[in-house]
Structure 1
């Protein structure tokens, strides 16, 4: 499944999906006036359609989901996924795409009653009770990127209190799995890998690898050779964590698989104490097996 901007040649197909999904899942909650208002003021309104930017989820070149943004990417105007593809993570992928591209700190939406829980799962909060305008029932909602929180978490990575630092690492990894909002700080992780403190090196490398999914500027490609030096770190625990972190690079950066493979083959785990040999050998096999599978 691929998410990309919808071109002119695909807009008709996209709008057919919007109407079909709307009529099946949302229209039953609206009055006849509301259904007519939606059609007249949105999908059949030329000025409205020209004011939005649409992205689609494509399955074998067929559009199975649509998200459209207004107001410079700060407001979700349309968000529909084909019923056959519900609960497959497509809506989440669509949202992550526009979230990554939007420069706004907050995103808003007027959710239908049907979609309210979907938006809650994505991290939106209600800003007012349900309202009705021209027959359209909706709940005003907002999503806050919390950019300040991300910056704070990154600062915590180098705290002396290891429990706080580790919790910050886990939270940043979780955010990185879901959105590209941490990617803006990738240069910080590159610098952390050069630290003389092994725990900081490891945290930096783990978060460096987590950005592979979002690496639109190929920053991993530019820094991968230097970063992979950690695979011969003096600390065997650093090597083991680094090997585990490489799974994201292998999955999302196919052009770097040979580089990773070569570096992994060159690990000299016999330099560490005997009890670590079998553990590191197992970690190496897992990375090499993943490279074969993807």
Structure 2
């Protein structure tokens, strides 16, 4: 697990992506990755959009195991990434949010409100409609 986390944070993007896929797969079947939830919470505000994206996706994948309600305590910081400076990070995050609402239904109203009130004005005209489409799809799933 430690090796996968090192790869996840490494400079080799192919290796990092493979580590992300492995950690997400493990998250679907066991709480083993949840042990690193605090680390992912720290990473979600990293300067690197790659690290932000990876950590946000792992937070979403591990919401099912969050019996300690750690995500609840960081919900405002977490949901702020709906309007992440990098639209690709926002898109991937938005697409993963329905699984958080599924596993943490108490957060669904907050997630829905954040999606409905997302400010997309900072995105280029080429990206804003795509992000809006992701928001619409996420709201439909929630």
**TM class by shorter-chain length?**
over 0.9
Of 7, 11, 33, which residue of structure 2 is paired with 1:160? 11
Q: 2:140 aligned with 1:289, yes or no?
A: yes
Please, which of 194, 200, 203 is the counterpart of residue 54 of structure 2?
A: 203
In structure 2, stretches of 5+ residues that fail to align are: none
Confirm or deny that 1:235 pairs with 2:93: no
User: Structure 1: which 5+ residue stretches go unaligned?
Assistant: 1-149
Q: Deviations over 1:76-111 (max 9, x none)?
A: xxxxxxxxxxxxxxxxxxxxxxxxxxxxxxxxxxxx
CA distance in 1, matches of 2:2, 2:38: 13
- The structure whose Rg is larger is 1
Q: 1:262 aligns with which of 108, 113, 123?
A: 113
Q: Does 1:215 align with 2:88?
A: no
| Number of equivalences | 142
What is the Cα deviation at residue 173 of structure 1?
Answer: 0.4
Preserved contact between residue 250 and residue 290 of structure 1 (Cα < 8 Å): no
1:254-289 CA distance string (max 9 Å, x none): 000011111111222232111212211110011111
Whose strand fraction is larger, Structure 1's or Structure 2's? 1
TM, length-normalised to structure 2 = 0.95
**Structure 1 or 2: more helix by fraction:** 2
Secondary structure of the residue that 1:182 maps to in structure 2? helix
CA-atom RMSD in angstroms? 1.1
TM-score (norm 1): 0.47
Match for residue 131 of structure 2?
280
Give the equivalent residue in structure 2 for 1:174. Answer: 25
Q: Deviations over 1:24-83 (max 9, x none)?
A: xxxxxxxxxxxxxxxxxxxxxxxxxxxxxxxxxxxxxxxxxxxxxxxxxxxxxxxxxxxx
Q: Which residue of 1 aligns with 2:38?
A: 187
Q: CA deviation at 1:162?
A: 0.5
Higher relative contact order (CA 8 A, sep 6+): 2
User: Structure 1 residue 242: deviation in Å?
Assistant: 0.7
Q: Distance in 1 between matches of 2:9 and 2:35?
A: 18
